[in-house]
Amino acid sequence: MTTDQLKELLIRARHEIGKVIIGQQAVIDLALITTITRSHALIEGVPGVAKTLLVRTLGRVFGGDTNRIQFTPDLMPADITGTNVFNMKDNSFTLIRGPIFTSFLLADEINRAPAKTQSALLQAMQERTVTIDRETHTLPSGFTVFATQNPIEYEGTYPLPEAQKDRFMFKIRMDCPNQEDELALAHRMLGDLSPEHVLESGAVEQVATTEDFLEFGRSLQGITVRDELVSYVVEVVRATRTHGSVMVGAGPRATQCLLLASRARAAMEDRDFVTPDDVKSSSTPVLEHRLILRPEFEIEGLSPQEVVAQILQEIPVPR
């Protein structure tokens, strides 16, 4: 697949998603980058900002199956991966596959389940395989996890393990729409053009198949990244480990994600080369969920986003 073909597909995907999701262009772009790079994303936003609807729409646009798991404190790992059930008629065990066997998995309110259950996703997110009763099963090639969490309600929730957060390429912040977009949504709701109705009516067209994901990946290999920019990416990530307010910085996987996201952003902008702006615009969603701040700085109100912004200001940008 050439860069021009990739650009055309992304333009069509943006258009189709825009039929359902009003505004939120930055969020849509991050979700598209997550999808075409076969990565995973953590979506954070208050209820009602269309987190679930965005994932369902992506599944329709890219022609993949979509499953949803509502995470609760009593959810067990087998409820996600599946289990072998004994069939008395055949005197044998039959595999009952869990909802993880899909192309797009929506892990809704993932922080409401304990770490034991959350960890059931680790192997799937990293290797796209699932082990059930010592037998390994392969997931679809385009397997992508979009996990959501509510940023304002922490009662009855569990913090995500650091190993799991590191497997999310992005942390996507989904805010409430601006006044113009919310007004457009209000007018839609007066007729039969509500976002849910548009999605269910079949108005959203498929622009690619799950088999195209590998082609997308190969297309990104043609995006040039200068040695100076590679060094810049490494410096940015390594600076998170030595920053005075950070207790634990980003690991090597963050470097890989930042390079991959920068390449994908360049492709979305119809360029065959990465610029410093691609790295800068990708740094916050790639790094912020990977940083653990020192308690005294958290008490003062410092946020990971502000730390990333400080680092980007301090490191010289390559010419």
When mean pLDDT is compared across 17-31, 67-81, 197-211, 230-244, the lowest value belongs to 197-211
The residue type of 235 is E
Whether 140 has a pLDDT exceeding 90, the answer reads no
Whether 72 has a pLDDT exceeding 70, the answer reads yes
- Quote the pLDDT of residue 228: 94
CATH of the domain spanning 1-72+102-120+139-209, picked from 3.40.50.10860, 3.40.50.300, 3.50.50.60, 1.10.3720.10: 3.40.50.300
User: Structurally, what CATH architecture does the domain formed by 222-319 represent?
Assistant: Orthogonal Bundle (1.10)
Q: What does the domain layout of the chain look like in residue ranges? A: 1-72+102-120+139-209, 222-319
When mean pLDDT is compared across 56-70, 274-288, 300-314, the lowest value belongs to 56-70
pTM of the model: 0.90
- Quote the pLDDT of residue 274: 93
Whether 313 has a pLDDT exceeding 90, the answer reads yes
Which residues share a beta bridge with 82? 97
In CATH terms, are 1-72+102-120+139-209 and 222-319 the same topology? no
- Quote the pLDDT of residue 199: 80
Q: In what order do the strands lie in the sheet with 104-108?
A: 66-70, 104-108, 144-149, 41-44, 170-173
- pLDDT-derived band at 115 (thresholds 50, 70, 90) equals confident
**Which one is predicted more confidently, 255 or 152?**
255
- pLDDT-derived band at 170 (thresholds 50, 70, 90) equals very high
**Which one is predicted more confidently, 176 or 43?**
43
